[in-house]
Amino acid sequence: MVYCQWTKHCRGESRPAGLGLFASVDCEIFHKLASVQGARSEIVAAMGTFLPVLTDVEKRSLHERQPLPSAYLGLEDEEMDVRIAAARAALGDRLVILGHHYQRDEVIRFADYTGDSFKLSREIAKHPTAEFIVFCGVHFMAESADILGLPHQQVILPDLAAGCSMADMAAPDQLMTCWAELEQMGMASQIVPVTYINSAAAIKAFVGEHGGTICTSSNARATLQWGWDRREKILFLPDQHLGRNTAWQMGVPLDDMVVWDPDVPFGGLTRAELNRARLILWKGHCSVHVRFTVPQIEAVRRQHPGVRVIVHPEVPFDVLQAADDNGSTEYILRQVRAAPAGSVWAVGTEIHLVHRLAEEVAPEKTVISLDQVGCLCSTMFRISPNHLLWVLEGLLDGEVHNRVTVGESEKKWARIALDRMLSIQ
């Protein structure tokens, strides 16, 4: 097995990722940055300019993977800002732009709403007359917006290459095989399926059709309780860490949890292991959040005595145990904003959110990234100002680029699963 030369940061198996072999889709730009900066030590020393350098690398490689018209390549930032603002103003109430917390600054500044994926999808309801929903996020988020939007509304993802490695770890055929094997063992009737919102529409639809629901990192605890109130066991996908961390905080022993490997017959589990388990965790993870480690926490505590470490619950179990607090992106924002002046925070989530939060609360509070080389979601990073400008000017010309649609059958069952989620208190 081949590993990234910086596996201790990427913590993933090597796989093809566009321009070469990388430990995860989230380390592609990191490696390209390293080739520009010369060495990892220089990257660490240059943390003050880390994001601008990343942006510069991305600009120069845009043509290597993006099907953009040549007229939208090599544009100056100032020109794009002016043209995006003009197109946005010209479209007026016909347009709503949604920006996920992990988006880069030069894109999210044009968003009408910012937030996590489900919060943003719900904002659409405030604009029933809008024709176009431009979602600056990743593919599964645009699908959720299409599911929740009105029939006349068209959802657009500025770059269709903006996917989610976690969502890709649970393919529909894998879930169907898993369920068939559980039925073969006579266990499916004991199990309620629950999927994290970070999953494809087809996965959400399957879960809805089989009596299950969807959760977010904000309501995962209530959702697991909802599932166990109905059946003996839960199949939780695709993020094993969110499921494990949430269940453990509810008092469920680790011995009552097993991991289902979709690449192995019957998940690599015995009947006895499945009989004993209350929680069956899909073998998936967030390529961003598994980069956080216990040694990082130990180092930041040495460097900043009294620091509060807060992480997203998608981190590995040992990292969650070593942190002071954990919660969704919205929870992290609330906790830091409400903290007393003079407090110091090390935040374990995506670097763009951390960077903006640090600027917002300074100088009264200090916020740093737990990952000293920056924890970047490179697929989210693929939404560039160039792409945003292209889709907006296309709308002005009567052309809809990169529309994301969910089939009616999938939409029906996925909406049922989402409605169940909304009913959970």
CATH of 76-162+382-407, one of 3.60.20.10, 3.40.50.620, 3.40.50.450, 3.40.50.10800: 3.40.50.10800
**Long-range contacts of range 30-35, CB-CB < 8 Å, 24 or more positions apart?**
30/6, 30/373, 30/376, 30/378, 31/4, 31/6, 32/57, 32/61, 33/57
In tens, the pLDDT along 193-208 reads 999 999 999 999 999 9
Percent of the chain with pLDDT over 70: 84
Would you list the DSSP string of 233-262? Answer: EEEEES-HHHHHHHHHHTT--GGGEEEE-T
Fold classification of 289-369 (topology level): Rossmann fold (3.40.50)
- Lowest mean pLDDT segment, chosen from 30-44, 302-316, 389-403: 30-44
> Could you tell me how many residues make up the chain?
425
Domain 167-287 has CATH 3.40.50.10800: yes
Do 352 and 106 form a contact (C-beta atoms < 8 A)? no
Give just the sign of the alpha carbon dihedral 213, 219, 223, 226. negative
| Average pLDDT score over residue span 407-412 | 94
d(CA 163, CA 104): 16
Reported as a single tens digit per residue, the pLDDT across 310-367 is: 999 999 999 999 999 999 999 999 999 999 999 999 999 988 899 899 999 999 999 9
Residues of the chain with CATH 3.40.50.10800: 76-162+382-407, 167-287, 289-369
Instruction: Answer with the residue of higher pLDDT: 63 or 385.
Output: 385
Q: Report residue 56's pLDDT band, with 50, 70 and 90 as the boundaries.
A: low
Taking residues 144-169, what's their average pLDDT?
Answer: 93
- Which residue in this structure is represented by tokens 């605890």? 221
Q: Average pLDDT, whole number, for the chain?
A: 86
Q: Supply the pLDDT for residue 245.
A: 98
DSSP sequence for 24-38: SGGGHHHHHHHHHHS
| pLDDT tens string 62-113 | 655 557 898 998 899 999 999 999 999 999 999 999 999 889 889 999 999 9
**What would the pLDDT profile of 283-292 be if each residue is shown by its tens digit?**
999 998 999 9
User: Which of 17-31, 121-135, 373-387 is predicted most confidently?
Assistant: 121-135
Assess whether pLDDT exceeds 50 at residue 37.
no
